[in-house]
């Protein structure tokens, strides 16, 4: 394989590994009550999961953007206003994390 070949499986694996690591960091920060950085890493985790989905659905590299709503739309995940608000709400992210633990 040359350096220019597109390996969908490896790229998806990369994004999911990165997402899982971001979740682990977010959980650690949350336990330490460092909520603002926990939210930041939570955002990164969601972003990386959506990028893995983008690669799976589009058979090309994910765009270098960080807007979760825009990324979701590029994956043909169309969110209503309530879901957009939940996605962007820090309180919702904290609640989801607490419930997961």
| pLDDT tens-place values along the chain, 101 residues long | 456 688 999 999 999 999 999 999 999 999 999 988 888 898 899 999 999 999 999 999 999 999 888 999 999 998 888 888 877 775 555 556 554 54
Residue 99's pLDDT is what?
47
Residue 49's pLDDT is what?
94
Angle between helices 35-58 and 8-31 (to 10 degrees): 170
Residue 83's pLDDT is what?
83
Residue indicated by tokens 């209503």: 80
Residue 18's pLDDT is what?
97
Q: Which of 38, 51, 49, 52 is closest to 91 using CA atoms?
A: 38
Q: pTM for the full model?
A: 0.80
């Amino acid at each position: 394989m040359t350096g220019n070949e597109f390996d969908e499986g490896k790229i998806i694996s990369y994004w999911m590994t990165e997402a899982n690591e971001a979740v682990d960091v977010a959980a650690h920060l949350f336990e330490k009550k460092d909520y603002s950085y926990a939210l930041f890493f939570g955002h990164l985790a969601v972003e990386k999961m959506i990028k893995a989905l983008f690669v799976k659905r589009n058979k090309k590299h994910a765009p270098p953007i960080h807007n979760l709503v825009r990324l979701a739309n590029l994956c043909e995940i169309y969110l209503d206003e309530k879901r957009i608000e939940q996605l962007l709400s820090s309180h919702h992210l904290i609640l989801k994390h607490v419930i997961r633990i």
